[in-house]
Amino acid sequence: MNTRIKVSLVLLLTLAAAVAYQWLGSASISITSEPTGAVVWIDGRARGKTPINRLALETGQHHLEVTHSYLSPYTEGLSLSGGDHEIREIKLQVGEGTFEFLSNPKGAWVELDGERLPQRTPTQASVPSGEHAIVMGLVERRSVSQTHTVNAGEVKVINLNLNIDPHGSLTLSTRPSNAKVEFVNEKIRYQRGVRVPIGEYALKVSRPGYRTETLRYRVRYGENRYSVDLRRDYGTVNVTYSPADAQVDVTYADAGRTFRKAYTQAMEVPVGAVEVRARAIGYRTVVRKLFLENAGATIRLNLQPMQVEIGAVFADAFTGGSVGPEMVVIPAGHFVMGNAAGPVSERPTRMVTLTQPFAVSRFEITVGDYRKFTLATGRAWPARVDQAETDHAMGYVSFKDAQAYAAWVSAQTGHKYRLLSEAEWEYVARAGTGGAYFFGQDKQALCDYANIADATASRLYADWDTLDCDDQLLRVGATGTLKPNPFGLYDIYGNVAEWVLDCGMPEYQDAPTDGSPAEQGLGCSTHGFRGGSWDSGAAEAASAYRNAASRASDDRGIRLLREL
């Protein structure tokens, strides 16, 4: 074989060996990632960013790592043989890092991505790797807002200095004192002495029934005190009514007090809760409640005549099959309440008008009447009262007992029963008369109408003020055994005194003239009682005589009124 042929054969064999090595002695890999732009590391050496297409690698073992910013790295061991071509599609995942929060001074609150951490600095929080919004703050220090990125597996220290933010205290004294104070366009809740950064603030001061004020106040170092008086807001009340002679009253609250005034045309009244009441003799009273705005209000009240038989006696049926106490229908009317010659508690006298007829229990509530109530409700029975004396007036009842009994009778009958007011009691006691007693001025005549202290009592109690007559009865007796008054009511004087609605003994100077209580008796320590009792002298039995107590006794009982 000649030399030229030998050379050609060697070249051909060399080329074939190179090609065989290329295909049998090397490998390649293609890598894509989500997100793109990840760094590809082969055996600890960066080989480019994704996407990478056909990266040539030697055969054998390799370590692949793909990293991208704060995402968790992807790692894999590769085993490549000659001619291999590997393809990797990698979705990088969010990892977890840790923030360590420090502040100067310590004790700052931390908000992480808008959420306030429960702990204060120094503290830590594990978070998804990536970018996070951080705010630190402390009372009377300026808050700091920053954005930080934490990588997967990283512990990153965030240490912030919180500079002093000058503050002052703010107190706003208002009239009325219960007015509401609010900061305008500020996330600050007002309270007296609230600490706020130095500066100027708008505050809104409001109270129902008053004109709202929005005022600006400057807060300086130290204490800042201001005051504001709200102006009362008014509206006009216009009332039309029939019959034309009806009495119309308007009740409203102002400056912490309640006022009831006679209606006048186009009456200006403070805005807020208002009650308009129209009444006329022989007509059913009409009450209208409204919330008056400053635009005012116009209302019409038409009173309807009441058709009742004056003096009629009736008893309402109970749900259990029995009946309630006997009631007598009392006419509407006028009377002079009090005693111009009496003690200060009975003065000054005033004309009272009760425009509607009503019914009053003919007798004082008896032991038998009250026993039905205690059996039905489980209320305690007074140990000193003999249950067998069913026709005797019931004693040893407190004001609350009397109220509870009236409420029970109301529930049993479906009608409104209650105690009488002082004015109503004196009206039915006088029964159209004007003297000390409904029968005149002679106290000795009490023996015909009242069980009060007489000769029987004087034999045991020599120092008592007693009458000369003798009914042979020392204590409470049976009801209805003596003469009634002109309205047909028995024992209106004596036997047991009768609880009334009024708290204590309110002054007559500003007392109502429509028969309603001077006060409704809620939250009172004492309540009035009227009429005298078995142990009373003649003076205590008089129509105008007043008394009050806070507890039960054997000489205090019940008489009821039923609204018609």
Q: Which CATH number is 241's domain given?
A: 2.60.40.1120
> What is the rounded average pLDDT of the residues 177-198?
95
Q: Is residue 295 part of a domain?
A: yes
Nearest CA to 475 out of 501, 457, 461 is that of 457
* In a shared domain, residues 198 and 68: no
Nearest-CA neighbor of 393 among 498, 538, 544, 526?
Answer: 498
Mean pLDDT score, 430-452: 93
Q: Using alpha carbons, select from 179, 224, 174, 173 the residue that is nearest to residue 197.
A: 224
pLDDT at residue 320, as a whole number: 82
On whether residue 455 sits in a domain, the answer given is: yes
Instruction: Using the 3D structure, point to which of 116, 133, 161 is the last residue of a domain.
Output: 161
Closest CA to 57 of 94, 16, 85: 85
Indicate whether 5 belongs to any domain. Answer: no
Do 317 and 461 have their domain in common? yes
Per the CB < 8 A criterion, the answer to whether 33 and 91 are in contact is yes
**Is 90 exceeded by the pLDDT of residue 522?**
no
Residue 473 confidence (pLDDT): 75
* Cα–Cα distance for residue pair 344/306, rounded to 1 Å: 37
Are residues 422 and 354 part of one domain?
Answer: yes
pLDDT for 67 beyond 50: yes
Does 546 map to a domain?
yes
329 and 374 assigned to the same domain: yes
Asked if the structure places residue 7 within a domain, the reply is: no
Domain count, the chain: 5
The Cα 325–Cα 369 span in angstroms is: 7
**Final residue of a domain: which of 146, 161, 176?**
161
CB of 131 closer than 8 Å to CB of 154: no
Establish if 2 belongs to a structural domain: no
R_g of the chain computed on alpha carbons: 48
Statement: the pTM of the whole predicted model exceeds 0.75 = no
Contacts of 302 (CB under 8 A, 6+ apart): 241, 242, 286
DSSP annotation of 89 reads: E
Q: Tell me what percent of the residues of the chain surpass a pLDDT of 70.
A: 94
The residue-averaged pLDDT of 63-70 equals: 92
Residues 93-122, mean pLDDT to the nearest whole number: 95
Range 290-298 contact pairs with CB under 8 angstroms and sequence separation of 24 or more: 292/235, 292/237, 292/252, 293/235, 294/233, 294/234, 294/235, 295/235, 296/235, 296/236, 296/237, 296/238, 297/235, 297/236, 297/237, 297/238, 298/237, 298/238, 298/239, 298/240
| Residue 400 sits in the same domain as residue 509 | yes
Residue 137 belongs to domain with CATH number:
2.60.40.10
The residue with tokens 């929005």 is: 214
Mean predicted lDDT score pLDDT of the chain: 91
CB neighbours of residue 166 within 10 Å: 12
Residues 504 and 458 in one domain: yes
Q: Is 468 within a domain?
A: yes
Q: What is the distance between the alpha carbons of residues 555 and 121, in angstroms, rounded to a whole number? A: 73
Answer whether residue 14 is part of any domain. Answer: no
Do 436 and 287 fall into the same domain?
A: no
Which helix (H) or strand (E) is 376 found in, with range? helix 367-377
pLDDT at 25: 61
- Residue range(s) defining the domain that contains residue 108: 96-161
Tell me: pLDDT of 16 over 50: no
Token reading at 506:
């309110």
